[in-house]
Chain A
Amino acid sequence: MYGTAEVVALVGVGILLTALFLQSESFLDPQIQGIALQSLLLAALLGWLAWSEQNLDLAFLAGLTVVIRAVAIPYVLRHQIRAFRWRSREIHAASRVTGHALAAVAVAVIAWFVFQETLSSIFPQPGAALPFVLLVQGLLMLATRSNTLVQVIGYLEEENAIVYAGALFASAFPLFVEIVVFLDVLGVVLVGVILSIQRGVMGSPEAAALEELAG
């Protein structure tokens, strides 16, 4: 029988690997599958913690993570790819895959050391640095990619990081469930509404360098 520490560490490593995979991939379908897998791993961790701590809130969050971030939003993203008649690959990122992968590993290592140096005394739980690393990976994805679908994946990764952090070291955080529900609503608005408008008006998910927005 595994203890909570082993499960947290094992699933945490899996989540970190999915984050690095997302950074090094330029095809959209595998990226969508990657974020769905990451959400499923997180949901499994939440489910384990909910069972071991008898915490109903964490159980609810596990269900929400599966429904919204592992199933619903990935489904809509795949639908968006078909609607764009897209060949399922980022234009600009394709030639920079190696650079993205190296940057992701470097940033992960730096984030890990920053956490260990500043916060590990307060949060000594095994794997406590992983949510922080995941948050930074999500930010890196948002900052380095211009494809809006990939940016949505970066946003989902950030949300996974927040849920992960809340579950690990602030599970009694008041209103945490409400906040996560709210983040999911925003994710749905992002994906469902703005991407649809963008498809109708601009016809491409690559963020354009519009002359009027320069400066």
Chain B
Amino acid sequence: MTDPPDSFWLFLLLVAPAATAVLSLIPVPGVSRTVSRAGSLFTLASALALLGGQASGRWGSYLGLDSLSDVFLVMVSSIYVTSAWYSEGYLRGVHRPFLTSQVYYALLSAFAFSMVATLVVSDLGLMWIGIEATTVASALLVVLERKPTSVEAAWRYTLIASAGLTIALFALLLIYATTGTLDAFALAATHPAVSLPIEMAVALALVGYGTKVGLFPMHTWLPDAHSEAPSPVSAMFSGVLLPTALYAFLRVYAILPTPAPAVLTDLLIVFGLTTALVGAFLLQRQRSFKRLLAYSSMEVMGIALVGVALGGVALYGALLLLFAHAFAKSAAFYCAGNVLRASGTNRIDEVRDLQHSMPRTGGAWVVSAFGVTGAPPFGTFLGELLIVVGAIAAGWFWVALVLILAILVAFLGVNFQIGRMVFGGGAKTPVERGRSTEDGATLAFVNVTIALAIGVVSIPYLSEAIRAAAAVLGGSSP
């Protein structure tokens, strides 16, 4: 189907961030900021229009949409908008930035464009290019603050992510050599016969794309890049880059018939549970609050992967979890950015009493910490609950128990540390008070409210779209 209105919105969806990336380079003060804000809003409007119109179908040989891509597009473009708006205040606090603001905004939009492009293509090869493009566009953003740690983090990120993606490319070579096509939609519709090369390709794709998702043991770039990147970029990393990489894997996984071969289901569950547990336990010993949030993202990705493996209602829960987590985690990173700017440190032990020094940021941070750790009634809670219920319903009791353990450990670790920073007394590092350092608090409240609303009310169009997206992958809604 190539409905003309959908074609227009799809065109705008691709052109808006690409044009924004180019126009942001105009060397006139304020233009890059204004252009990136406008461009991100156009991108979000297009994604919402496609979601509202339940856009699905093919556009030529290489473009295609269905409910799954519609949902991910709204997720990516929403966080692109809030990060573009949050960036101005954050950049004011960066001394001797490595990039000019024009280049920063251009790369931010190029990063968003690469994710959007990944989500609208129907060819697995182009999808791979899109994921690799996210690395190229975002690597330089990590070194914005010109610190040795930032350079080291950017290096690890580029190298480890690229190494992982070459494995994913090898998986695509196997799929093509076996089936003669890389058309994700056609492969998902026809389900090629399960053979050893196909199973091996899916396993290699899990390892390859899993590197970018942050799955254990290929996760080592994730805490470094997330903690060293500027906070608006960290928000995009944690909130939408990891799910976009997972989306690329889901497109490969979708070529398998439902239910998938047991060996692959088991592999996904092992990777997912290990990642969730390692993330939950490693976050307990973090001294940097941004690394704390990064490990929390790793834990969430592990849980979501288990949901994908279990299928059925757990798959619906996984998509709900990813969507709500994107908003809650970006809110948490905006608060972290405010605190970092005001205190000049990212050490948990050196930040105290934010309830008085930064009341709006402190309040938003506590609420968003509850959001990212799946406290009821956030959408993350509902998603995690459905995954646990799905595990029990499928007879995987031990999986449910391990999931509950990971969720509880992460919940206690994140909320205890952020609670200490907000309510604990005896600040060791002076916090700069003032309205300007709390710039992003409102955005954080907006995003965390959306994460809350997802769990409380049925949002028109969105709820139906997530149900339909789960159905695309063979899942079901409660």
Q: Taking beta carbons and an 8 Å cutoff, which residues of A are in contact with B?
A: 118-119, 122-123, 132, 135, 138-139, 142, 148, 151, 154-155, 158-159, 161-162, 165-166, 169-170, 173-176, 178-179, 182-183, 185-186, 189-190, 193-194, 197-198, 201-202, 207-208, 210, 212-213, 215
B53 within 8 A of A: no
- Bound state CA distance, A24 and B140, in angstroms? 32
B167 within 8 A of A: yes
Min distance, Cβ B59 to any Cβ of chain A, angstroms: 17
The answer to whether A178 touches B169 (Cβ under 8 A) is no
The answer to whether B178 touches A155 (Cβ under 8 A) is no
Min distance, Cβ B226 to any Cβ of chain A, angstroms: 11
- Bound state CA distance, A202 and B152, in angstroms? 9
Min distance, Cβ A146 to any Cβ of chain B, angstroms: 11
Min distance, Cβ A201 to any Cβ of chain B, angstroms: 5
Of A155, A173, A182, which contacts B132 at CB under 8 A? A182
- Does more than half of chain B's interface fall in helix, strand or loop, or is it mixed? helix
Of B125, B197, B200, which contacts A179 at CB under 8 A? B125
Residues on B with beta carbons closer than 8 Å to the beta carbon of A198: 151-152, 155
B262 within 8 A of A: no
* Interface-side segment among B142-150, B327-335, B413-421, B428-436: B142-150
Min distance, Cβ A160 to any Cβ of chain B, angstroms: 10
Min distance, Cβ A23 to any Cβ of chain B, angstroms: 16
Residues on B with beta carbons closer than 8 Å to the beta carbon of A183: 132, 166
Apart from the given pairs A139-B163, A166-B173, A208-B148, 9 other A-B contacts in the complex at a CB distance below 8 Å: A118-B196, A135-B167, A138-B166, A161-B170, A170-B177, A173-B176, A173-B182, A189-B158, A197-B151
The answer to whether A208 touches B173 (Cβ under 8 A) is no
The answer to whether A165 touches B148 (Cβ under 8 A) is no
Residues on A with beta carbons closer than 8 Å to the beta carbon of B140: 193
Of A155, A159, A185, which contacts B136 at CB under 8 A? A185
- Bound state CA distance, A26 and B227, in angstroms? 32
- Bound state CA distance, A199 and B148, in angstroms? 10
Q: Known interface pairs A190-B159, A194-B151, A215-B282. Does A175 touch B139 (Cβ–Cβ under 8 Å)?
A: no
Of B169, B195, B196, B282, which contacts A162 at CB under 8 A? B169
The answer to whether A189 touches B146 (Cβ under 8 A) is no
- Which single residue of chain A is at the shortest CB-CB distance from B157? A194
* Interface-side segment among B29-37, B80-88, B286-294, B305-313: B286-294
Of A142, A161, A193, which contacts B159 at CB under 8 A? A142
- Bound state CA distance, A142 and B218, in angstroms? 12
Residues on B with beta carbons closer than 8 Å to the beta carbon of A170: 173, 176-177
Residues on B with beta carbons closer than 8 Å to the beta carbon of A142: 159-160, 163
- 9 closest cross-chain pairs (CB), A and B: A175-B125, A158-B166, A212-B149, A170-B177, A170-B173, A202-B148, A201-B151, A122-B197, A198-B151
- Which single residue of chain B is at the shortest CB-CB distance from A193? B140
Most chain-A CB neighbours within 10 Å: which of B147, B162, B288?
B162
The answer to whether B129 touches A155 (Cβ under 8 A) is no
Min distance, Cβ A184 to any Cβ of chain B, angstroms: 12
The answer to whether A118 touches B200 (Cβ under 8 A) is yes
Of B152, B160, B182, which contacts A213 at CB under 8 A? B152
Residues on B with beta carbons closer than 8 Å to the beta carbon of A194: 139, 143, 151, 154-155, 158
Min distance, Cβ A93 to any Cβ of chain B, angstroms: 16
The answer to whether A215 touches B166 (Cβ under 8 A) is no
B123 within 8 A of A: yes
- Which single residue of chain A is at the shortest CB-CB distance from B147? A201
B224 within 8 A of A: yes
Min distance, Cβ B206 to any Cβ of chain A, angstroms: 15
The answer to whether A119 touches B123 (Cβ under 8 A) is no
**Residue interface bits B166-196, CB-to-A below 8 A is 1, else 0:** 1101101110111000100000000000011
- Bound state CA distance, A182 and B132, in angstroms? 8
Sample (6) of A-B pairs whose CB atoms are under 8 Å apart? A122-B197, A139-B167, A154-B163, A186-B158, A189-B136, A215-B223
Min distance, Cβ A156 to any Cβ of chain B, angstroms: 11
- Bound state CA distance, A158 and B161, in angstroms? 13
The answer to whether A179 touches B129 (Cβ under 8 A) is yes
B422 within 8 A of A: no
Of A165, A189, A197, which contacts B143 at CB under 8 A? A197
- Which single residue of chain B is at the shortest CB-CB distance from A208? B152
The answer to whether B155 touches A148 (Cβ under 8 A) is yes
- Which single residue of chain B is at the shortest CB-CB distance from A114? B200
B285 within 8 A of A: yes
- Bound state CA distance, A65 and B197, in angstroms? 28
Residues on A with beta carbons closer than 8 Å to the beta carbon of B147: 201
Min distance, Cβ A170 to any Cβ of chain B, angstroms: 5
- Bound state CA distance, A132 and B167, in angstroms? 10
B423 within 8 A of A: no
- Which single residue of chain A is at the shortest CB-CB distance from B175? A170
- Bound state CA distance, A189 and B133, in angstroms? 12
The answer to whether B158 touches A190 (Cβ under 8 A) is yes
- Bound state CA distance, A148 and B285, in angstroms? 28
B153 within 8 A of A: yes
Min distance, Cβ B286 to any Cβ of chain A, angstroms: 6
Residues on B with beta carbons closer than 8 Å to the beta carbon of A159: 166
Residues on A with beta carbons closer than 8 Å to the beta carbon of B174: 119
The answer to whether A210 touches B178 (Cβ under 8 A) is no
Q: Known interface pairs A193-B140, A197-B143, A201-B146. Does A135 touch B166 (Cβ–Cβ under 8 Å)?
A: yes
Q: Known interface pairs A119-B174, A208-B152. Does A175 touch B197 (Cβ–Cβ under 8 Å)?
A: no
- Which single residue of chain A is at the shortest CB-CB distance from B291? A215
Residues on B with beta carbons closer than 8 Å to the beta carbon of A213: 149, 152-153, 223-224, 227-228
